[in-house]
Amino acid sequence: MKKIYIIAIVMIAAAIVLLTTAAEDMSTYANFKDATKSGDRVKIAGQLSKDKEMYYNPQEDPNYFSFYIRDTKGEERKVVLLSEKPQDFELSEQIVLTGQMKGDEFVATDMLMKCPSKYKDEEVYIKEEGE
């Protein structure tokens, strides 16, 4: 057997081992219930509760932004993001957070927002008076 083949087989074996260990890095999107139960660092996807308070007062703490989201099971919880309030936050439809539960709050260190394609409404592109 050629040496190259041996090396290739070793590599394929390594790849399989790596990819199985990589399963540890993966998780399903959790909901608040799972996150509370496990206490692990998880990703949660949810909808922003637009009627609930969003709190960011940089004078108090520039790294504290809190809001409420509703997870895929419909449970609503307070989320604390340890960062500034991002631009266009109010517009976001779907939010993916990375973090873990601390008490009743979900403390997130990373957030990804999905904004709707902004310009669906007709009024957005009609010229305003006097323009």
Q: Which residues bind another protein (CB under 8 A)?
A: 2-4, 7-8, 11, 14-15, 18-19, 22, 25-29, 41-43, 45, 56, 58-64, 82-85, 87-88, 94, 96, 98, 102, 107, 109-110, 112, 114, 117-119, 122, 124-127, 131
Closest distance to another protein from the beta carbon of 131 (Å): 7
Closest distance to another protein from the beta carbon of 68 (Å): 19
Dist CA 78 CA 65 (whole Å): 10
Dist CA 108 CA 97 (whole Å): 6
Residue with smaller CB distance to another protein, 41 or 52: 41
Phi, psi of 40, deg, nearest 5: -80, 170
Cα four-point dihedral sign 16, 19, 21, 27: negative
Closest distance to another protein from the beta carbon of 58 (Å): 5
Closest distance to another protein from the beta carbon of 51 (Å): 18
In contact, 114 and 94? CB cutoff 8 Å: yes
